[in-house]
Chain A
Amino acid sequence: MDETTGDVPRSRLPRNKVSPSVVGKVAAFIGITSVCAIILWHVIVKVMFMRGNIFIPLYTILVAGYMLSRFLLAAFYRPPRDAGITPSIAIVVPAYNESSAVARTIHSLMALEYPPHLLEIVVINDGSTDDTWDHMVEAASQYAPGRVRCVNPGVNQGKRKAMAVGIRETRAEILVFVDSDSMPAPNAVYKLVQGFADKKVGAISGLTYVRNAETNALTRMQAARYYVSFQLLKSAESVLNAVTCCSGCFAAYRRAAVTPLLDQWENQTFLGRECTHGDDRALTARVIKTGWKTIYDSQAEAWTDAPDEYRKFFKQQLRWKKSWSREGPMLLSHVWRSRPLALLPIAIQTMAGLLSPFVIAYSLAVPIMGGKFPIIYFLGLYMVAMAFALLYRMFRNDGLWLYAFFGTFFYISFSPQLVWAILRIRDGKWGTRPSTAGTTNISKQERRVARAGKAA
């Protein structure tokens, strides 16, 4: 994954609470409510005056209704209460060519506030070609034996397989996945597992901030986007107990929910190719399918590094779009059975997501072809983007709220990428790794290299 930005003292991390004033909160809330009210009014008008070509109004109604439902459901979201439970936890960290950063991750995980005898850390070296393994072992040796388990399968098999190795190495009740460039808050793991007091909960997603938010405009936009996605979309999904992606950077799964799915998930193939991307989304979907609840805990906070170069961002988006266009429709095929309430929003989300490149193209092509400028579409976009920005401003007063606005348009401008993602969906290249690592089509030469690395 991305190279880490080096050790960041905790004090320099974005503050957990950059609390806005009461006036600011109320003003932002009024702004969001006004936007929602106007959109609701528009939907009612569309329904009452529907005629003629049914598809465009229907699209508007569904998408606007989806947006409104997000805000409404998110308003009802409450984080799981502190049940005081402390199940045994294994934190699984796959690492690939992280060098000394892996040591930093290990140290930060060891600083977590959780009963030591119930917390173990499993670090898997996914066939790194650098000195990751050495740093790993060196860091682990600083702690009592058994606290940090270093696993070295020897070959580079991809993130998913590495995680599976880690899962099999431990017997802990709860599995917490932390990306090698993520850093949970000291109390985060304790908070994260509280939701498992409900025996039907199979997976819980934490709230992830962008650690390098202040690097440049790109990371600022991502920071704002992350926050809004978690606080709006995941909150809303959580109310229906169907969070569709308990993200890989910081999420917990119940072992009982994962074990029956492990082989199937690890060896998932799509169109004849082994799936390498979207490990988190694929696993969450399977957990939902078997009937478990998946929820979101906004009190369990972690920080992760976002790509700070457009090239890397582009590749990350391509990976996410590939896994989304694979898992979205697949989730749709079974979610009606396990979570009927979540069917409609997921269906709209999938439909609108798949159509978005064409809607954008259509909206831009119509005025160019001499038609009427779709002013309603763009004004609506402005309002929704501002509602996102105001939502950010309602919770955080760190000067980044407008980036949520810009970010919305920035992300939309990436939507045509979906077409390419679907066309190249079988291509499992990770994009941050130099070779075809991650696919199973490892050439003999690469195997030799891997073996040589192991021998070394």
Chain B
Amino acid sequence: MPAHPDLSDRRSAGAERRSDNSGDEYDVDGVVPATVVRPTSTEEVAEALRSAARDGLRVVPRGHGTKLTWGMPPSGVDVLLDLSALDAVLDHAAGDLIVEAQAGAPLAELQRVVGQEGQRLGVDETVAGATIGGTLATQASGPLRMSTGTMRDLLIGVTVVRIDGVVAKAGGRVVKNVAGYDLGKLMVGSFGTLAVVTEAVFRLHPRPEVQRWLRVPVAGAGEAWERTREVLHSQCVPAALEVEWDGDGGGLLVLLEGREAGVAARARTVIGLWGDTAAETEAPHQCYPWDAAARGDDRSTATKLTFAISGLADVLRTARAAPARVRVRGSAGVGVVYAAVDGSTEDVVATVRSLRETCAGHGGSAVVLDAPSEVKGAVDLWGDVPALDLMRRLKDRFDPDHRLSPGRFVGGI
């Protein structure tokens, strides 16, 4: 599709426009955009969207593209909205424990800025290079979610641009605030299908003085749950409680955070519970069990499994018994783990189905985040989605013509 004349004018507004169609850099899971627009402000995003609206163009927002292949490929992309130039950490109010940043700011950069004052945003960088906006849109989370939650819990204010180019804000710059609808929550995990987030305000937490990881090997699924239960029910206040699991067994890891004396005392409690095979260990190197840098058919089928906490043993058993190879890593302590599923498409699909059944039996779900295109074509990525009708109605209000990230999300939204 030819670029709209108005979009060509973006350059005059300060935005950088590309149209060399360099598919390998700017494609969205294989779908190549006709035009790339790189706005530098919320107002430029609004202009770009207004302009796209005039011609009925389909738009996909992008940060650093580290999770752009998650979800289904869009049904089409006329304009790729590259938000990486909106990369400023705008304001860190240390005394108020809040930070305001643009959506394209790298999470690591934000952590560096707030870290200078001994603070942190309580969310892990699950994929190297991730931006604020991408982390928010996918609700990506790592081990820390056990103590500080996810973007859902940390986002306190948001600026969005609607598909019709209208700029709107919700929330604010204070943690405690119940004025108006919490639009931020709707944006978190929406895969860029409701509106384009351009700025966000987050609550921060103090960075702990001491962090210590302990690991205990586990052989069986029942043992993994027993170890999990012991820690959850103890008084050792874990900041994270992770499980690692592949065909041959695995381990449980606990993160203790706080002050030196307190952490030491709680580490003794954990060792008392877990026994002599428990030992101090280094922080895990990655959040996900798959290679996040893999592309195309080299990708594992990356799956997010959720369940009521006590469902852990069943989930691990299902993973072990599955026809495909399944490696699991994630937050046993909250009932959210990730599985890398590898094998023939047929085996992968069968495995996703059996994991889905087990998770559903424990009040949760199995969502395929990313996968080779053949797998994406063979399995419903999202599984059963309750209240889908309401979600469609919401989408229809925000994006009546279905031009924003079309087809990427649940139910073809």
Do chains A and B interact in one complex? no
Give residues in A with beta carbon < 8 Å to B. none
Give residues in B with beta carbon < 8 Å to A. none
